[in-house]
Amino acid sequence: MSTVQTKTNYEGASKTVLRRFFGRSIFRRSDTTLCALVVLITLIATATLGDFRTLSNINNLLNTTALIAIVAIGEAVVILARQIDLSVGAILGICAYVVGELSRHFSGPFGPVMGVLMALGFGAAFGIGNAFLINALKMPAIIATLATLSIYTGIQIIVNNGSQLYLTQVPLWLAGLRGNAWFGIGTFIWIAFFCLIVVSFLLRKTRFGRDVYALGSNPEAAIYLGVRVRLRTYQIFALCGALAGLGGLLYTSQFGNVDATAGSGLNLTVIAAAVVGGVSLFGGSGTALNAVLGALLLGEIQNILELTRISIFAEQTLQGASIVIAVAVYAIVSRRLRRPVRRESSTANHAEKSNAARGANRPPGLSEGVIHG
């Protein structure tokens, strides 16, 4: 083989490695594409809307997004396992009222710890109730959680008994949770970041995460490989319910007015955040980060619509249309970015088949690159 040919092959291999590294690892990742879309919308809103770039609006946007992101992370885990939870809004509403009421009895130094534990515990208990219907009665998740949505909403109305919980009735640590900040970053954002780190670790580094992706990718194969489906179902719904309960605690601190309608309409917003972020509804594909980015995108869209001061009916219509547009744009961009990968793969397969064919037809004693005189 000549020096020129060797150099050409080396340069071609180097370009392929660089193209694959930068293409697949950076520009072809779903979270990178969504980050670019969020940055683009932020730049446009900053340039066109003066109220958008105010400090108060940014704080309100990030706090609302953090609350939605926490619940969306739990919903993403359920969707990854090819399930769905339609009752997260009702779980959030119950926990917001119950934990807010009970927190008045825990106003000492351990008050915040008890409040968080109660929110996680109550939420996990409701999530386990969802899993029980799915495991014991063999109900599809969409039917089971649709039923518990009505059940939990009824429980929420009974517990509230027509009353309301105001911010002045809760302890100071809960009332001031929204306004607190560490190192200039709001408490809500720190809590959402902590949930993201923990759930990402569980999905990436533990057997639980591998089983979740296996169930979402191929449930029959997962059973054949020994995945404990019933146990994992209880665990994923308990995790989703626990994060919804934690979201209820933050809801009490943020809005300070908890009634029987708290959390209503949040179910579809949370599911939309996960799906817009890139979590596949068919399971087995997506990350917790995708849910957070989806929540941020939807939060920005809603904030922009509110700042334009349009009617509430037009706002709901445009918000739904913006979700459809965002999903469509994301799908088109992702499909176009994956197209070169398919071309490279097909070209490589074609080259391997050609080399194999030439090797099969080559007379004995001759090797590639060697010329016998």
Domain coverage including residue 182: 18-340
Asked if the structure places residue 187 within a domain, the reply is: yes
Asked if the structure places residue 346 within a domain, the reply is: no
- Token output for 138: 């063999």
Helix axes 30-48, 288-307, angle to 10 degrees: 20
166 or 136, which is more confident: 136
Asked if the structure places residue 10 within a domain, the reply is: no
Quick check: helix, strand or coil at residue 163?
Answer: coil
Asked if the structure places residue 125 within a domain, the reply is: yes
What is the pLDDT confidence band of residue 51, given thresholds at 50, 70 and 90?
A: confident
Quote the radius of gyration of the chain (alpha carbons, Å): 26
349 or 178, which is more confident: 178
Mean pLDDT, the chain, rounded, equals: 81
Paired sense of beta strands 181-182 and 185-186, if any: antiparallel
What is the total residue count of the chain? 373
The answer on pLDDT for 275 being more than 80 is: yes
CA distances from 371 to 1, 76, 360, 366, 367 (A): 9, 59, 17, 8, 8
Q: Domains in the chain: how many in total?
A: 1
CA distances from 108 to 51, 55, 228, 249, 268 (A): 39, 32, 42, 17, 37
pLDDT of residue 95: 93
Asked if the structure places residue 12 within a domain, the reply is: no
Asked if the structure places residue 262 within a domain, the reply is: yes
The answer on pLDDT for 47 being more than 70 is: yes
Asked if the structure places residue 247 within a domain, the reply is: yes
Asked if the structure places residue 345 within a domain, the reply is: no
Q: Are 58 and 181 in contact (CB under 8 A)?
A: no
What is the pLDDT confidence band of residue 236, given thresholds at 50, 70 and 90?
A: very high
What is the pLDDT confidence band of residue 338, given thresholds at 50, 70 and 90?
A: low
pLDDT of residue 124: 97
Q: Are 286 and 277 in contact (CB under 8 A)?
A: yes
Residue type, 160: N
- CATH number assigned to the domain comprising residue 219: 1.10.3470
pLDDT of residue 336: 66
In the chain the beta strands, taken as DSSP E runs, fall at 165-166, 181-182, 185-186, 257-258
Distance, CA of 369 to CA of 373 (rounded, Å): 13
**Most confident option among 45-49, 181-185, 231-235:** 231-235
The answer on pLDDT for 233 being more than 80 is: yes
